[in-house]
């Protein structure tokens, strides 16, 4: 994480004048922090009358390359699209296997199905809830062609162990970075340990473009066709064609394009990129605020019976999209918090017990049981200290209010 800029994040939303404990609170689980800076760049896009794939997307890609240190970044309209294209870039033969964690959002594994490949679900590490590397080794066989580690909640998968293991077996590595953005792990940015990293800018993420995603690689040859694949197979930016058309010495073939690869309508557009450019500037401050909130949660939860942070969060070292707890009485706790106006969630129902994945399911006994204890708590950069205390108080009185 970038701790170099000391300014603190100043949310633009109005705050309650006075803290009113235990009533009148309505605390969202996730919330994008957007305001004037984003609107200004959207306005400029309107004034240019260019809101599709255009200069903002190119600028955002260039800035993401600078921010992440990646040799190449390509903007798309979601991380779901990024994950689909990341696997497609390798052109694996149909029917090969891809190792994915069971505890993740559907998109990690639907990307496998989109590519006519077979998901192999890997159980969670009991401590971190990330991919269990022992189970990974057990699930591997010679038909596996790739592995997709998810930095669950933002907590790094031990990439220094996973990478040599994957390389020895010739596996490609696609990092699902939907829950992280800009975190360094052992001297390397998460997203650049593997062959391709995929970030999400959906509205609940560390930064947003409404919906959007970014693919990164340090091997530009891998992305040779990716720009065409994200734009219906055309490897030529529309806005550049339009620019050529308006120059005096225009080429009579300015309209020409060739379709050589199967593409999708997955491009990011200039309105999303306008939001992204403004959000990227705020990202370090928003991540720092999230870290402060997680520290407040962790300190406040110490010694509370029946409850523990869901994983060993290190908010001083990494940035987290989610915070959560493991609770002995999850459902009762959720109902209790809901009664106090506190939104909660469960991330996730493991994919290995979802009906869609039944043919490959019921293979991850630990997480298929453990997810019943998971509660996601409110985490976003606009949360106030008072609101976090309110959530903590709600958890602390649970035993008196409900159990006792
Ligand atoms: C782990 C993970 N992967 C992928 C995605 C897909 O992201 P997007 O909504 O940008 O398609 C998400 C979104 O929640 C996610 O949590």
Q: How confident is the model at residue 25 (pLDDT cuts 50, 70, 90)?
A: confident
Set out the domains of the chain in order of their start, with CATH numbers.
36-403 (3.40.640.10)
Q: Which atom of ligand 1 is nearest to the CA of 104?
A: 1
Residue 368, ligand 1, Cβ within 6 A? no
Q: Which residues contact 251 (CB under 8 A, 6 or more apart)?
A: 244
Q: How far is the CA of 243 from the centre of ligand 1 (A)?
A: 34
Q: How far is the CA of 213 from the centre of ligand 1 (A)?
A: 9
In eight-state DSSP terms, residue 400 is I
Q: How far is the CA of 79 from the centre of ligand 1 (A)?
A: 5
Per-residue pLDDT tens for 192-206?
999 999 999 999 999
Residue 108, ligand 1, Cβ within 6 A? yes
Strand order through the sheet with 374-377: 307-309, 323-327, 374-377
Angle (CA) 390-208-185 rounded to 5° is 85
Per-residue pLDDT tens for 244-271?
555 555 556 667 788 889 999 999 999 9
Has residue 16 got a pLDDT over 60?
no
Residue 110, ligand 1, Cβ within 6 A? no
Mean pLDDT on 154-160: 98
What is the pLDDT at residue 5?
46
Residue 85, ligand 1, Cβ within 6 A? no
Contact status, residue 194 vs residue 163, Cβ threshold 8 Å = yes
Query: How many residues are recorded in the chain?
Result: 404
Mean pLDDT on 2-18: 48
Q: How confident is the model at residue 3 (pLDDT cuts 50, 70, 90)?
A: very low
What is the pLDDT at residue 14?
41
Residue 104, ligand 1, Cβ within 6 A? yes
Has residue 349 got a pLDDT over 70?
yes
Q: How far is the CA of 120 from the centre of ligand 1 (A)?
A: 19
For 149-203, where are the alpha helices, taking DSSP H only? 159-168
Contact status, residue 105 vs residue 349, Cβ threshold 8 Å = no
Q: How far is the CA of 247 from the centre of ligand 1 (A)?
A: 41
Per-residue pLDDT tens for 112-141?
999 999 999 999 999 999 999 999 999 999
Mean pLDDT on 37-41: 98
Contact status, residue 190 vs residue 177, Cβ threshold 8 Å = yes
DSSP of 234-294: B-S-HHHHHHHHHSTT--TTTT---B-S---B-B--HHHHHHHHHHHHHHHHHHHHHHHHH
Mean pLDDT on 28-56: 97
When the pLDDT of each residue in the chain is averaged and rounded to a whole number, the result is: 92
Has residue 19 got a pLDDT over 90?
no
What is the pLDDT at residue 255?
72
Q: Pick the residue with more confidence: 7 or 386?
A: 386
Residue 176, ligand 1, Cβ within 6 A? yes
What is the pLDDT at residue 213?
98
CA distance 193 to 186: 10
- Of 1-5, 186-190, 259-263, 340-344, the one with minimum mean pLDDT is 1-5
Per-residue pLDDT tens for 359-404?
999 999 999 999 999 999 999 999 999 999 999 999 999 977 776 6
Residue 243: burial class (beta carbons within 10 Å; 0-12, 13-18, 19+): middle
What is the pLDDT at residue 367?
98
Has residue 17 got a pLDDT over 60?
no
DSSP of 318-338: S--S-EEEEETTHHHHHHHHH
Q: How far is the CA of 396 from the centre of ligand 1 (A)?
A: 32
Q: How far is the CA of 401 from the centre of ligand 1 (A)?
A: 36
Per-residue pLDDT tens for 50-100?
999 999 999 999 999 999 999 999 999 999 999 999 999 999 999 999 999
Q: How far is the CA of 154 from the centre of ligand 1 (A)?
A: 12
CA distance 318 to 128: 14
| Residue bearing the CA closest to ligand 1, atom 16 | 105
CA distance 85 to 65: 18
**Mutational pocket test of ligand 1: of 174, 178, 215, 346, the residue with most ligand atoms within 8 Å of the beta carbon:** 178
């Amino acid at each position: 994480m970038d701790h170099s800029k000391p300014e603190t994040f100043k949310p633009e939303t109005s705050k309650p004048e006075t803290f009113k404990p235990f009533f009148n609170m309505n605390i969202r689980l996730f919330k994008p922090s957007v305001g004037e800076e984003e609107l200004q760049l959207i306005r400029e896009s309107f004034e240019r009358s260019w809101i599709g794939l255009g200069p903002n997307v190119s600028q955002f890609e260039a800035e993401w390359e600078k921010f992440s240190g990646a040799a190449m970044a390509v903007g798309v309209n979601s991380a779901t699209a990024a994950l689909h294209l990341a696997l497609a870039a390798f052109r694996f033969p149909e029917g090969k296997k891809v190792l994915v964690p069971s505890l993740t959002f559907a998109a990690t594994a639907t990307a496998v199905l989109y590519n006519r490949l077979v998901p192999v679900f890997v159980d969670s590490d009991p401590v971190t809830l990330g991919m269990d590397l022992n189970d990974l080794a057990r699930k591997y066989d010679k038909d596996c062609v790739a592995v997709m580690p998810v930095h669950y909640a933002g907590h790094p998968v031990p990439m220094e162990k996973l990478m040599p293991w994957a390389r020895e077996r010739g596996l490609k590595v696609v990092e699902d970075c939907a829950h992280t953005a800009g975190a360094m792990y052992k001297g390397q940015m998460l997203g650049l340990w593997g062959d391709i990293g995929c970030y999400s800018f959906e509205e609940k993420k560390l930064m947003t473009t409404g919906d959007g995603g970014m693919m990164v690689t340090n091997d530009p040859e891998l992305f040779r066709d990716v720009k065409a694949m994200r734009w219906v197979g055309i490897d030529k930016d529309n806005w550049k064609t339009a620019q050529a058309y308006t120059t005096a010495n225009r080429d009579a073939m300015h309209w020409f394009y060739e379709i050589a690869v199967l593409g999708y309508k997955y491009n990011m557009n200039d309105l999303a990129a306008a939001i992204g450019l403004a959000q990227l500037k705020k990202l370090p401050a928003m991540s720092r605020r999230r870290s402060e909130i997680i520290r407040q949660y962790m300190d406040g939860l110490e010694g509370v019976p029946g409850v523990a942070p869901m994983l060993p969060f290190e908010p001083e070292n990494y940035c987290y999209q989610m915070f959560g707890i493991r609770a002995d009485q999850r459902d009762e706790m959720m109902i209790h918090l809901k009664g106090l106006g506190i939104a909660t969630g469960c991330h996730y129902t493991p994919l290995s017990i979802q009906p869609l994945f039944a043919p490959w399911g019921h293979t991850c006994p630990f997480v298929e049981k453990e997810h019943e204890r998971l509660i996601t708590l409110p985490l976003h950069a606009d949360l106030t200290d008072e609101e976090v205390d309110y959530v903590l108080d709600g958890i602390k009185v649970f035993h008196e209010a409900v159990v006792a």
